[in-house]
Amino acid sequence: MGYKTILTVLTDANQHKQLDSAIAMTRREDAHLDVFCMGVDHTQSGYYYAGASAYVFQESIDKAVAAAGELEERVRDRLDPEDIRWSVDSAVAQVGGLSTLVGMRARYSDLVVLNRPYGEGAPADAEAVTEAALFEGAAPVLIVPEALKEPFGRKVMIAWNQSNEALAAVRRALPLLIAADSVEITVIDPSPSGPERSDPGGALCQMLTRHGVRAEIAVLARTQPLVSDILNRRATEIGADMLVMGAYGHSRFREAILGGATRNMLEKAQLPVLMAR
């Protein structure tokens, strides 16, 4: 069991670190790397006077086609000397159709490797690509803050809240959890009336142990308002080099407006985060 097809989606020529991370993960897993280069047309027809849309659309599409072709050529030049199995494809989409194309690619991939979709230097379409991989593609996504660095995945932390999303992330992360030296199941302020009651994380720990995972449980009090801050602090305390967590337990709209653990981790995480739902 492992990751045999790894996907990364590029929409900008400056995503060198993301491509480097995907290459590193592919080599580590002895997998096949699919690189999907996208040219995105951001034209909004309602912004132009009657009759102008056709000309604007054509010019914008031509630019997107040229950008996708140039990006594909650069990626091929980058991958030519590598000792991994790889393939590159390109496509053009209007911004509203981006999710469908990315979702179709992610659906048939074992893992999607992307950089953080928020923060300085993030491409304009990074958020849409990340959400498309998670929702339309139903794929696990490894979010890497910068470039993936070895050693990686030796000390893994699981953010466990008994949700379906968290369990899905754990199942998708099993190859990495089995290979890890140690795994901590981190439970923050568990409810005494929850389904696990007096043994939070116990059933998950038992399941992982039967897979050969060296797992232990840590139950933490909620000492800060944001769960993401507690997770980041705990990761630093134990020297974790990867976090596994469920994505969007609340709706994307709610997290965009009010914030949430997923949105905050996508913006603030200082270590690679594997997310699924």
Go through 167-205 and write b for each residue having 16 or more CB atoms within 10 A of its CB, e for each that does not. bbbbebbbebbeebeebbbbbbebeeeeebeeebbeebb
Contact 31, 8 (CB under 8 A): no
DSSP state of 135: I
* pLDDT at 56 > cutoff 90: no
* pLDDT at 144 > cutoff 50: yes
What fold is seen in the domain 155-275? Rossmann fold (3.40.50)
The alpha carbon of 19 is separated from its chain's Cα centroid by a whole number of angstroms, namely 13
pLDDT band at 160 (very low <50, low <70, confident <90, very high): very high
Q: Sheet harboring 85-94: ordered strands across?
A: 85-94, 32-41, 5-10, 111-115, 141-144, 273-276, 242-246, 155-160, 182-188, 215-220
Minimal CA–CA distance to 145: which of 166, 124, 114? 114
Tokens of 106: 């992610």
* pLDDT at 258 > cutoff 70: no
Average pLDDT score over residue span 261-277:
88
Minimal CA–CA distance to 187: which of 163, 160, 164, 157? 160
Contact 140, 174 (CB under 8 A): no
User: Looking at residue 97, what is its pLDDT?
Assistant: 85
Each residue of 64-101: pLDDT tens digit? 889 999 999 999 999 999 999 999 999 998 878 899 99
Average pLDDT score over residue span 51-57:
52
Each residue of 188-241: pLDDT tens digit? 988 776 677 778 999 999 999 999 999 999 999 988 888 889 999 999 999 999
pLDDT band at 44 (very low <50, low <70, confident <90, very high): low
Handedness of CA 231, 234, 238, 241 (dihedral sign): positive
Identity of residue 72: E
| Element holding 112 (H helix, E strand) | strand 111-115
* pLDDT at 3 > cutoff 50: yes
Question: What residue ranges of the chain are covered by domains with CATH 3.40.50.620?
Answer: 5-144, 155-275
CA distance to 103, 200, 203, per residue, from 195 (Å):
33, 9, 11
Contact 32, 205 (CB under 8 A): no
Q: Helix 53-79 to helix 16-29 angle, to the nearest 10 degrees?
A: 50
The whole-angstrom separation of Cα 44 and Cα 47 is 6
The whole-angstrom separation of Cα 102 and Cα 202 is 37
Q: Domain 5-144 in CATH: superfamily?
A: HUPs (3.40.50.620)
Go through 251-265 and write b for each residue having 16 or more CB atoms within 10 A of its CB, e for each that does not. ebeebeeeebbbbbb
How deeply is 83 buried, as exposed, middle or buried, from its count of CB atoms within 10 A (0-12, 13-18, 19+)?
exposed
Average pLDDT score over residue span 116-140:
91
* pLDDT at 257 > cutoff 50: no
The whole-angstrom separation of Cα 210 and Cα 174 is 12
